Amino acid sequence: MTESTPYAVQRREPTEAQRRAVAELITVPPLADELGRRFAAAGHELYLVGGSVRDALLRRPGALLAGGTALTDQDLDFATSAHPDQTLEILTGWAETTWTTGITFGTIGAMRRGLRIEITTYRAEAYDRVTRNPIVRYGTSLDDDLVRRDFTVNAMAFSVPGHEFADPYGGLVDLAAKQLRTPGRPEESFADDPLRMLRAARFAAQLGFAVDPAVRAAMTAMAGDLGRITAERIRDELSKLMIGADPVAGLRLLVDTGLAETFLPELPALRMQIDEHAQHKDVYEHTLTVVQNAVRLESDGPDLILRLAALLHDIGKPATKAVGPDGGVSFHHHEVVGARLTRQRMRALKYPKETIAQVSRLVALHLRFYGYGRGEWTDSAVRRYVTDAAELLPRLNKLVRSDCTTRNRRKAAALAADYQALEERIARIQAEEDLARVRPDLDGNAIMKLLGIPPGPAVGAAWKYLKELRLERGPLPPDEAEAELFRWARDNGLLPPEN
């Protein structure tokens, strides 16, 4: 393995006036200064680094802002000249607990007064360019450490307890310009760690930053290098992107640079050629609009399940596209195919089983509503809609509303009115019948007692039949439910036929 070529960097340090302005802007939690004094007493430097410094300058909620209070909900990252064993010694008697799971990479974790911190020795590592694992080599200065970071806006530091601002690579300038740029050549940075390309898309979604042209060019040229990254890490970056303030900005960057092709090819595949008569929408642009709509409908913070369902709801269309004799385009059963493809893709990305089940069920159900406005739905159909959606019904409501992207105002108004009517009908039936807990009118014990049978498959089959009957006809009086059970039992040979 060979060490990577030293970065060609351009230093762009802040002026003294800028340093003073930053020092006045950032309020450091007393605990951080307390820790800094312990390191200084031992003859070592300690700097706040990374996201906490960036977010303070962006004045993001919960950041280290002037006049703010000590952090209680944000981790703090530090860089230090101390080696890991020295860091552990300094933390002894101060930290309530420590952990060394990252010690191979020079990181020691600690907790004190509810604040989680990570302290990493200055690093000047090289990378093997096969995996994303560094050949760990400790640096001798803060500059050694900062030049190896992903973007200049994350390569700023703030000393504790001295409160001196360090920004050798122009992070402050890039922050003001809302620009993502690497401290050195982006090709070098991404060759070291291809995951940084996904982080660029994530920061575009989270922070609303534009990507420097040189960075975008490197992402496009090196998209294939993402194959070195594990599915779990890709999944985590995608999830963080999806819950960002503007996930569409990040998604566009993934598609435009070719990165999406390596781990989510179903998304760029939605850029299907529109037929000459414009018989179907641009499915890719429609999908991004649905994601935006879903974000607007959220009422209690980012909802990853809803946003993933919005992203994947139409991925079955390319496989089901058909052109009829009249030139009309159809996508019959694309929701069924899409649910299957959703399960496959999310499994490949190592999402949890419950997340996969919820997202794929939303994809499968997202077309169920259409046709309601034609007056075809009975109360039975409404019960089945609610029962099939179960706990996902609020999300399904939002997904269906988000899926209406027509520019025809009359059509859009009609769809909105239809769905409003359906929601009101659901509310009425729920109030009357408690659909959230639909059960047969007879439970398993009653079934066994009435039929004189022991526990077994026949009880489950009878229970399922009675539940279907409950969905079809609503609550039944006890005598009618018992009569239906006996009729089913006779039809299935559990009771002798009536004379």
Can you give the pLDDT at residue 115? 87
Residue labelled with tokens 């019948």:
433
For 1-177, CATH gives 3.30.460.10
- Report whether 95 contacts 111 (CB < 8 A): yes
Can you give the pLDDT at residue 157? 95
CA distance 379 to 195: 51
Q: How far is CA 241 from the centre of its chain?
A: 6
β pairing state of 179-180 and 210-211: parallel
Give SS3 for 398. helix
Give 10-residue mean pLDDT values along the chain (499 residues): 47 80 82 95 95 86 50 73 96 95 92 92 70 70 91 95 93 94 93 94 96 97 95 97 97 98 96 52 90 94 96 92 74 89 97 97 88 66 82 92 83 80 80 62 84 88 82 79 84 78
CA angle 135, 106, 168 (to 5 degrees): 85
- Report whether 441 contacts 481 (CB < 8 A): yes
Give SS3 for 397. helix
CA angle 123, 129, 135 (to 5 degrees): 30
Quote the pTM value.
0.80
